[in-house]
Amino acid sequence: MSASAADGTVNTHGADGPAATGDGTRAVRAGLPDPVKYEPTLPGPVFAAHFHLPGEPTGPYTYGRDENPTWTLLEQAITELEAPGREDVETLVFASGMAAISSVLFSQLRAGDAVVLPDDGYQALPLVKAQLEAYGIEVRTAPTGGDAQLEVLEGARLLWIESPSNPGLDVCDIRRLTEAAHAQGTLVAVDNTLATPLGQRPLELGADFAVASGTKQLSGHGDILLGYVTGRNDEAMAGVRRWRKIVGAIPGPMEAWLAHRSIATLQLRVDQQAATALALAEALRAHPEVTGLRYPGLPDDPSHAVATQQMRRFGCVVSFTLPTRERAERFLGALRLVDDATSFGGVRSTAERRGRWGGDAVPEGFIRLSVGVEDPEDLVADVLRALEESAG
């Protein structure tokens, strides 16, 4: 499923560096500076609150809340993945996915504006909704599936899309929604956390912003929090940059460097995790106690048709429902290779009963399972064994 030159994109590394046309090549070289003799390929983290700055205080590096060379390389790497070949696009990195999301919403919206959010998106969105409303912004919500956000779009300043949605794994037609939004002057942001830029490139589908949590599969090891916003290098992005400076929601250099290092294996991880997720979904489909099984890569999944139009890989999250809360808890307790933990996208498989948090509109027995890089046979066998052993 890896991309090729057939997708028409070419990325160059530096002015005369090697062209990367496949996702693996692009990921392993993303954001690397031109080679310098005796310097490492990926320079280490730059720890600096301030930089030597005699005379006029102009950039590129002045104060550590505004810029950092380690961010610059990571931002370049993410741009190369989200928008290969585009010179007019930039990325800003943040302390977390929520910092990135809030920076777009709060920098673009004013009192009196209307915004459309998904009603089945990330669990912190209801908190954001309450805060936006407190600032006099009208918040409309609609489900991701069936492109239902179209029905409440009229006159909105910003449309917020999360596709696939977390945790329900519904998918909407990003290009269709974006065209309708742009026809009336509405900006569009897409939360690309679940897909990663190797799974989906929202800017190519027309969106103004690709926003994501780098905490999940992008960095993939469950050891850092990070977020980013990618968009055209214009006034809107200048607003996002200004917001980052005002709020100071910046990543530490160590986190930025770890994320950059981890991107080198992104294609290996997303391909392996997607293949195993599909194998697991196929194995679960036959199980009598499993209902509501969702994985956009399953040919008969309700999301599959739209997902194949706009996604290049289908992600590492499989969701399904067991009959009761107790049944789901016994299953989670019986797993050996899957940790009972929240979040997703890491190299080690995790699963949780999503209803334990409240906030998501899911059944009590709903399980969100994130597939790691274990051998597919081991993982599938562990899940099926745990289902058997925890039955009855």
Ligand X SMILES: *Cc1c(COP(=O)(O)O)cnc(C)c1O
Residues in touch with ligand X (CB under 6 A): 96-98, 101, 122, 162, 166, 191, 193-194, 213, 215-216, 225, 227
HSE toward the beta carbon, residue 360, CA cutoff 13 A: 21
Q: Are 219 and 262 in contact (CB under 8 A)?
A: yes
- Using alpha carbons, list the distances in angstroms from residue 34 to 39, 75, 166: 10, 16, 38
Q: In this complex, which beta carbon is closest to ligand X, that of residue 21 or of residue 196?
A: 196
Give the shortest CB-98-to-ligand X separation in angstroms: 4
Give the shortest CB-136-to-ligand X separation in angstroms: 24
CB neighbours of 185 closer than 8 A, spacing ≥ 6? none
Separation of CA 207 from chain center: 14
Q: In this complex, which beta carbon is closest to ligand X, that of residue 162 or of residue 204?
A: 162
Residue 122: left if φ>0, alpha if ψ -120 to 50, beta else—which one?
Answer: beta
Looking at beta carbons, which residue is closest to ligand X? 97
Q: Are 226 and 250 in contact (CB under 8 A)?
A: no
Angle at 282 between CA 280 and CA 284, to 5 degrees: 70
Give the shortest CB-196-to-ligand X separation in angstroms: 11
Separation of CA 157 from chain center: 23
Q: In this complex, which beta carbon is closest to ligand X, that of residue 237 or of residue 249?
A: 249
Give the shortest CB-356-to-ligand X separation in angstroms: 16
Q: In this complex, which beta carbon is closest to ligand X, that of residue 287 or of residue 348?
A: 348
Q: In this complex, which beta carbon is closest to ligand X, that of residue 125 or of residue 284?
A: 125
Give the shortest CB-188-to-ligand X separation in angstroms: 16
Q: In this complex, which beta carbon is closest to ligand X, that of residue 196 or of residue 321?
A: 196
Give the shortest CB-286-to-ligand X separation in angstroms: 29
Give the shortest CB-192-to-ligand X separation in angstroms: 8
Q: In this complex, which beta carbon is closest to ligand X, that of residue 194 or of residue 386?
A: 194
Q: Are 115 and 109 in contact (CB under 8 A)?
A: yes
From the list 119, 116, 124, the residue with the least C-alpha distance to 100 is 124
HSE toward the beta carbon, residue 97, CA cutoff 13 A: 23
